């Protein structure tokens, strides 16, 4: 079983006793359950490489960086990891979090740099139909609902509030999410379940990769 009931109990207890003393007393449990997540990541990477090309993945540390945070609790009460797509032609990333009652996957473009963001907006303004087509596909709607992420309230500099694609152009992030039940996470089939969600992201990631690697005339920039 990739993720065990005991793993979720550990996370619940950690949430209630988020201090270094409690964690030190339960360090062995942490190591066991961290290994479960690493094994899940290994299984998932094998499955994902059957339909995408990855440059590697990582399972994040449970230790929090509290230097610039108001929340000074020393540990995360969830597991998290990510995968990077390989080559300059494949953009976007895959992310997952696992915790009782709030496990999910996310993908897309969490913090595009200013030049990439401007290029995305110009491409969308010039021809928004292909992206709308992806966002309105039945499978996309079933898994992700709608595009998520931070957005400006009016219109970005250089773009008209009357642009027909202004709802897309406003985005500062281009992120999609899908949540899982605890039953799904604790199932032996969870690697296949999470892989299916990542595979459903592909049309969105592939389209965004295409517009990021071509100019406004459709010529390759890579």
CB-based burial label for 23 (10 Å; 0-12, 13-18, 19+): middle
Instruction: Check if the beta carbon of residue 177 is closer than 8 Å to that of residue 106.
Output: yes
Instruction: Give residue-wise pLDDT tens across range 197-217.
Output: 999 999 999 999 999 999 999
Specify whether the CB–CB gap between 107 and 175 falls below 8 A. Answer: yes
Determine, yes or no, domain membership for 104: yes
Asked whether residue 102 is domain-assigned, the answer is: yes
Residue 217 counted as domain residue: no
Residue 1: pLDDT over 80 = no
pLDDT of residue 28: 97
Query: Are 81 and 34 spatial neighbours (Cβ–Cβ below 8 Å)?
Result: no
- Return the pLDDT at 70: 83
Counting the structural domains of the chain, the total is: 1
CA nearest neighbour of 38 among 56, 64, 53, 60? 60
Res. 130: pLDDT tops 80 = yes
Rounded to an integer, the average pLDDT of 155-161 is 96
Residue 153: the pLDDT is 94
Question: Does the residue 220 lie in any domain?
Answer: no
Please name the residue ranges forming H helices in 70-189: 114-126, 129-135, 138-144, 166-169, 182-186
CATH of the domain at 132: 3.30.930
Q: Taking the model in full, what pTM does it have?
A: 0.94
| Residues 167-188, mean pLDDT to the nearest whole number | 97
For residue 151, being part of any structural domain is answered with yes
Give the structural domain span for 52. Answer: 5-212
Residue 181 falls inside a structural domain: yes
* Structural domain includes residue 88: yes
pLDDT digits (tens, 9 = 90+) for 17-67: 999 999 999 999 999 999 999 999 999 999 999 999 999 999 999 999 888
Angstrom distance (rounded) from CA 193 to CA 187:
9
pLDDT score for 219: 95
Domain contains 221: no
- Cα distance between residue 114 and residue 99, in whole Å: 33
Average pLDDT, integer, range 64-89: 92
Task: Report the side by side order of strands in the sheet with 93-98.
Answer: 54-59, 79-85, 93-98, 103-109, 174-180
């Amino acid at each position: 079983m990739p993720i065990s009931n005991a793993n979720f109990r550990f996370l619940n207890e950690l949430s209630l006793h988020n201090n270094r003393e409690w964690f030190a007393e339960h360090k062995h449990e942490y190591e066991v359950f961290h290994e479960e997540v690493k094994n899940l990541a290994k299984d998932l990477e094998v499955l994902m490489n059957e339909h995408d090309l990855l440059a590697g993945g990582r399972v994040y540390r449970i230790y929090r960086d509290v230097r610039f945070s108001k929340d000074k609790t020393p540990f995360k009460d969830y597991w998290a990891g990510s995968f990077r797509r390989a080559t300059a032609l494949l953009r976007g990333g895959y992310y997952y979090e696992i915790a009782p009652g709030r496990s999910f996957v996310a993908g897309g473009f969490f913090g595009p740099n200013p030049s990439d963001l401007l290029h995305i907006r110009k491409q969308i303004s010039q021809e928004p139909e292909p992206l709308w087509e992806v966002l309105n596909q039945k499978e996309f709607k079933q898994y992700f609902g709608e595009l998520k992420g931070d957005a400006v309230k009016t219109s970005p500099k250089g773009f008209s509030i009357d642009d027909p694609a202004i709802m897309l152009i406003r985005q500062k992030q281009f992120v999609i999410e899908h949540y899982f039940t605890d039953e799904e996470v604790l199932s032996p089939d969870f690697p296949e379940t999470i892989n299916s969600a990542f595979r459903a992201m592909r049309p969105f990631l592939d389209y965004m990769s295409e517009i990021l690697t071509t100019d406004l005339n459709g010529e390759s920039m890579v």
